[in-house]
Amino acid sequence: MRGKRAKKRVIAKDRKYNDEVIGRLVTKVMQGGKKSLAETLVYSAIESGSKKSNIPVIEFVHTAIDNIRPALEVKSRRVGGANYQIPVPVNPRRQETLAVRWLVDIARSKTGKAFDLLLSNEMLDAFKGEGDAVKKKNDVERMAEANKAFAHFRW
């Protein structure tokens, strides 16, 4: 390994629901240090989504994120002059990080509506097990499954 391994940071919980996943969502949405604006957008999105699905907010967020978590991903490894895509299991913290990142990035990539509406719609789709974020998860897992023949290069 090169250098030192990065230390694990403490995940900040959000102010309203005191939940780590929502705190990560707020931090990912935040741009330019404007945390209060990010909190407003995220709270608006998750509350409208939970109202549409008729379940509590925290349960709604956790279910949506759980539906996006990837179990496997591929990592490049150079063996004998060739690069192989090697499937590796994803640890729970990275699963959550990837899920939140994909959710926010997909909501940001869409245009035409306010961001909180886009995020709310994407979270509703993820809650139902459909939408672009779930498609991204399936693509990543399918890629790992296709490269299962190179799993023996994992060391």
Name residue 76's beta-bridge partners. Answer: 85
The CATH number assigned to the domain with range 20-71+91-138 reads: 1.10.455.10
pLDDT number for residue 106: 96
> Residue 34 gets which letter from DSSP?
-
d(CA 121, CA 58): 16
**Which pLDDT tens digit goes with each residue over 82-138?**
988 899 999 999 999 999 999 999 999 999 999 999 999 999 999 999 999 999 999
**Which pLDDT tens digit goes with each residue over 50-77?**
999 999 999 999 999 999 999 999 999 8
Average pLDDT (24-44) is 96
**For residue 1, pLDDT beyond 70:** no
List CB contacts of 94: < 8 A, sequence separation 6 or more. none
d(CA 24, CA 13): 8
Name residue 86's beta-bridge partners. Answer: 75
d(CA 155, CA 139): 24
Split at pLDDT 50, 70, 90, the class of 148 is confident
d(CA 27, CA 76): 29
pLDDT number for residue 155: 61
> Could you tell me the CA-to-CA distances from 154 to 3, 13, 62, 72 in Å, in that order?
22, 35, 31, 13
**For residue 150, pLDDT beyond 90:** no
List CB contacts of 90: < 8 A, sequence separation 6 or more. 69, 70, 71, 72, 73, 98
d(CA 68, CA 102): 8
Residues in the chain: 155
pLDDT number for residue 93: 93
Among 108, 93, 100, which Cα is nearest to 64's?
100
